[in-house]
């Protein structure tokens, strides 16, 4: 599934080819802002996948599987959150923007999804009836099941914060590049 997303982080390729460190580890955060329309979902999902790919560029062996699973799960969670901002927060309102901020440490990635639409009342969202799964009403449940922590703060903007732990591929030290000629 990773290959489904465009390699927005073209520098990954250059890095692999030249074996030059990308200025060490990126410290972030990075922010993406798109109009609140479903047409931008693919772009947002691709951007999240690209950041994961860059963060995991030193992964080898089993860490590659964790990177792939991590990326697919984070992309799915962010995709649901993005859908909700577009469909629910701006319902009946002039569509604004959805902003994503990605930051990371050596063992977790955090994504803030921000909108300036109607606030979500998390307490009023009932858990889905899993004995009769429906197409609607699964998004919040899916998000919670794919990340380690989900918080929501209503305001201007409203902020949904998703945090996901990674154990094997974040914070790997850069491999040394070729020595410069004397």
Ligand X SMILES: Nc1ncnc2c1ncn2[C@@H]1O[C@H](COP(=O)(O)OP(=O)(O)O)[C@@H](O)[C@H]1O
Cβ at position 134, least distance to ligand X in Å:
8
Cβ at position 77, least distance to Mg ion in Å:
11
Contact yes or no for 54/26 (Cβ under 8 A):
yes
Site for ligand X in 90-119 (CB under 6 A): 118
Site of tokens 């998004």: 139
Q: What does 137 interact with, of ligand X, Mg ion, none (CB < 5 to 8 A by kind)?
A: ligand X
* Interface with ligand X, residue 179, by CB under 6 A: no
User: Cα 48 from chain centroid?
Assistant: 4
Choice from 51, 74, 89, 150 touching ligand X (CB under 6 A): 89
Q: What region, left, alpha or beta, does residue 155 occupy, with left being phi > 0 and alpha being psi -120 to 50 degrees?
A: left
The pair phi, psi for residue 37, each rounded to 5°, is -145, 145
Q: What does 71 interact with, of ligand X, Mg ion, none (CB < 5 to 8 A by kind)?
A: none
Can you tell me whether residue 103 is helix, strand or coil? strand
Choice from 71, 76, 84, 85 touching Mg ion (CB under 5 A): 84
Query: What is the chain's length?
Result: 182
Binding stretches for Mg ion (CB under 5 A): 84, 139
Binding stretches for ligand X (CB under 6 A): 84-85, 88-89, 118, 120, 125, 136-140
């Amino acid at each position: 599934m990773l290959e489904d997303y465009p390699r927005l982080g073209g520098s990954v390729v250059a890095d692999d080819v030249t074996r030059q460190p990308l200025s060490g580890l990126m410290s972030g955060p990075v922010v993406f802002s798109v109009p609140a329309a479903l047409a931008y979902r693919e772009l947002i999902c691709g951007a999240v996948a690209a950041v994961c790919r860059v963060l995991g560029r030193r992964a080898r062996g089993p860490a590659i599987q964790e990177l792939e699973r991590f990326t697919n799960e984070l992309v799915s969670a962010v995709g649901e959150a993005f859908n909700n901002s577009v469909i629910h927060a701006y319902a009946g309102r002039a569509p604004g923007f959805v902003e994503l901020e990605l930051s990371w440490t050596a063992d977790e990635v955090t994504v803030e999804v921000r909108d300036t639409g109607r606030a979500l009342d998390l307490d009023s969202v009932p858990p889905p009836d899993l004995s009769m799964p429906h197409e609607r009403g699964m998004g919040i449940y899916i998000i919670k099941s794919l990340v380690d922590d989900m918080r929501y703060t209503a305001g201007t903007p409203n902020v949904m914060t998703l945090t996901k732990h990674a154990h094997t591929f974040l914070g790997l030290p850069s491999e040394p590049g070729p020595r410069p000629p004397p």
